[in-house]
Amino acid sequence: MYFLQTVWDPISDGIDVFGYFKIHYYSLMWMAAFIIGYYLMKKIYKSEGQSEEKLESLFMYSVLGIMIGARLGHVVFYQSELFKEDFFSVFLPFSFIGGIQFTGFRGLASHGAAIGMIISMYVYNKKILKKSVLWILDRVVIASALGAVFIRVGNFFNSEMIGKPTEEGFSLAIIFRQFDSIPRHPGQLYEAFGYVFVFLSLFFLYWKTKKSTQTGFLFGLFLVLLMSVRVVVEQFKIAQIDSREDWILGLNTGQVLSVPFLIVGLYFMFLYKPKAD
């Protein structure tokens, strides 16, 4: 018996637009993440005395960097066979196997998104902001943490990143009908709730303390908290790649990929010293 058991069996995975194509709920969650992130960064930029033009450029660089990084990260880390089997689907929201099919934004990796965000912010700072790449990273991670919540909710809508079967008597269990009929951990929701905590921590520290003046601290904290949540929640999810449940030292793919980010985060929190002007 379970204290709370829910069957997740959505009728559709998106909204049909006049019968021509479908906007997937997952794509809508990405759109919500970027739109809400834009208004959050607008508030931050206003408090920092930055111009509207720089904010608009930030939005463009963020979207491109995160989306490209997330897609390439998924293919490189989890589905490298696409480079041979369906090369153009790596870069376009279409599948070309057996005809052209619109798939929307699917197959996106959070580790790749983090790398893409860092690279795009480096380019944005060099070309537009001209302050410090850590200055923008310390601020954009607040919006990124909130956006991560929406992305995991999107994964739940898609019935992907499925959790392991729950044990009898576990208080919370979800049956993902599109996957099977076994009560499972809602790993996507565990992760989403964890990211809410990450967002609130960064938001509070930025607005209510002087940690925003400690260069690199909020960026480092973001990496440490986000990847810590990922490492913990991965224990409740099935392996995304067969035979990688116990890949390296008992860690699966997602956990292994999180370790370098954790180390970098700790460095910026406790060891990094900005160069004197």
Answer for the pair 14, 182: CB distance below 8 angstroms, yes or no: no
Residue 277, in any domain of the structure: no
Full residue range of the structural domain in which residue 15 is found: 4-270
CA separation for the pair 115, 268 (Å, rounded)? 16
Residue 276, in any domain of the structure: no
Answer for the pair 188, 155: CB distance below 8 angstroms, yes or no: yes
**Confidence class of residue 60 from pLDDT cuts 50, 70 and 90?**
very high
Residue 194, in any domain of the structure: yes
SS3 content of the chain, % helix, strand, coil (to 5): 60, 10, 30
**pLDDT score of 244 more than 80:** no
The residue that leads in pLDDT, 108 or 52, is: 52
What string of DSSP letters covers 151-187?
A: HHHHHHHTT-SPBPBPPTT-SEEEEETTT-SSEE--H
What would the mean pLDDT of 261-269 be, rounded to a whole number? 98
- What average pLDDT is seen over the chain? 89
Closest CA to 103 of 59, 147, 71: 71
Residue 45, in any domain of the structure: yes
Answer for the pair 40, 202: CB distance below 8 angstroms, yes or no: no
User: DSSP character for 11?
Assistant: S
Strand locations in the chain (E): 4-8, 14-17, 21-24, 94-95, 101-102, 172-176, 183-184
Answer for the pair 126, 206: CB distance below 8 angstroms, yes or no: no
Answer for the pair 215, 135: CB distance below 8 angstroms, yes or no: yes
The two tokens of residue 27 are: 């794509």
Closest CA to 8 of 176, 142, 137: 176
Answer for the pair 8, 176: CB distance below 8 angstroms, yes or no: yes
Residue 177, in any domain of the structure: yes
pTM over 0.95: no
**pLDDT score of 276 more than 70:** no
CA separation for the pair 217, 56 (Å, rounded)? 25
Residue 24, in any domain of the structure: yes
Domain count, the chain: 1
Report strand pairing: 14-17 vs 21-24.
antiparallel
Percentage with pLDDT > 70 across the chain: 90
**pLDDT score of 105 more than 70:** no
Answer for the pair 234, 164: CB distance below 8 angstroms, yes or no: no
